[in-house]
Amino acid sequence: MKIIHRIVFRPDKTQRRVLQEIGIPVPPNEDLPVFEFDEEHEKLISLKPYIDKWQLVDNVRTEFTKKELDAASFLRWFPLWMNGYPMPDDDFGYIGTTFQKQGYCEVCGSGLVQQSSFRLRKAPNWGSKKIFGLNWVYDEVFVRKDVYETVFKKYGIESMPVLLYKKDVIIEDTVQLIIPTTDAYSNLEEQPYEICKTCGMKRYNPKTKGFFPSFKDSVTGLHLFKGREWFGSGAMSYKQIFVSQELRQEMIKYQIKSDFDPVNQ
C-alpha cells in the first residue's frame, strides 16, 4: 500500500524559488506543475510546511497492491465513468422528480429516497464501457442491460429502468442497479465529520486514507450494498457503495473497469 499526495498549483516567482531550494525544481515553461509524492518521500516532508502556508490543496489517494485487494472480503466500489448529470438539471430539478423530498435536507443534501426512475439527457454512448455513475449522485450505479443480465442478476441484485428525459421512454440498453442499505455500521470513530446545523445529520469526510474502516457487525448474504452512514460536503451527501470479493472477481472477469478500496478486516 502506498499513500500518494497529489498537489497541483500555479507557483509564483517566490514559490518557484522556494521549491528550487528544497529540491523540487519547476521547469521554467511549466505553468501548472503537478507534484506527486509517496507519503514518506523526503521531498514531501520538505514541502509539507508550505502546503499549509500557501493554502495548497493536497489530494490524497491510496494505491493498493493486488494482494491487498484480493484479500479483502468487501471493497468500496467506484465506477470510473461519470456520464453526465441526472435530469432535469436546472436548479437540481431532478431531486423533486426522482426522489421524495420528505426528509430531505436542502442544506447538507442528506435524506433523499428514490421514488422514480432516473432520467438522462440522452442514451449512453456505451462503446466498450459497461457501467457509469452520474455527477451529483454518487451512490447509484447504471449498467448496460446485457452486463446486468450476465454479471449482476445471478447475485440476486435487482434493477430498474432508466428513462430518456422529456420523452419519458425507457432506454432499452441501460438499467440502474437497485442497491440495498446494510444494517451494519462502519468503525468511523477516527474519521472527521460534521453535524448539519439544520437537520442534525452526522456526515463524514469522504476522503479516507488507507483501508476503508471495517464494519462493526458482520455482513452476510449481500454482494452489493450501501453503508448506513452519510458522507459528503457542501450540499451533497451520499452513502458508500460496497461489493463482495466474489462480485469484484466477476467484474474483473468481464472487464468491468472500476476502482476498489479494500475494507479493513
- pLDDT < 50 positions in the chain: none
Show the domain range for 32.
2-63
Residue 207: the pLDDT is: 75
Q: What pTM did the predictor assign? A: 0.88
- Residue written as grid cell 521531498: 43
The sheet carrying 230-233 orders its strands as 193-195, 202-204, 230-233, 236-238
Residue 195: the pLDDT is: 96
Cα of first residue to Cα of last residue in the chain, in angstroms, is 15
Q: Are residues 34 and 144 in the same domain?
A: no
Q: Are residues 54 and 100 in the same domain?
A: no
Give me the residues paired with residue 163 across strands. Answer: 119, 170
CA distance 136 to 134: 6
Residue 65: which residues within 8 A CB-CB, separation 6 or more? 1
Q: Are residues 179 and 239 in the same domain?
A: yes
Q: Are residues 54 and 76 in the same domain?
A: no
Q: Are residues 45 and 97 in the same domain?
A: no
Q: Are residues 81 and 59 in the same domain?
A: no
Q: Which residues of 54-87 are buried (b: 16+ CB within 10 A; e: fewer)?
A: eebeeeeebebeeeeeeebebbbbebeeebeebb
Q: Are residues 80 and 94 in the same domain?
A: yes
Cell of 251: 467484474
Residue finishing a domain among 24, 44, 63: 63
Q: Are residues 82 and 167 in the same domain?
A: yes
What is the tally of structural domains in the chain? 2
Q: Are residues 7 and 116 in the same domain?
A: no
Q: Are residues 208 and 129 in the same domain?
A: yes
Residue finishing a domain among 10, 28, 63: 63
Residue 39: the pLDDT is: 87
Rg (C-alpha) for the chain, rounded Å, is: 21
Reduce the DSSP state of residue 167 to 3 states and report it: coil
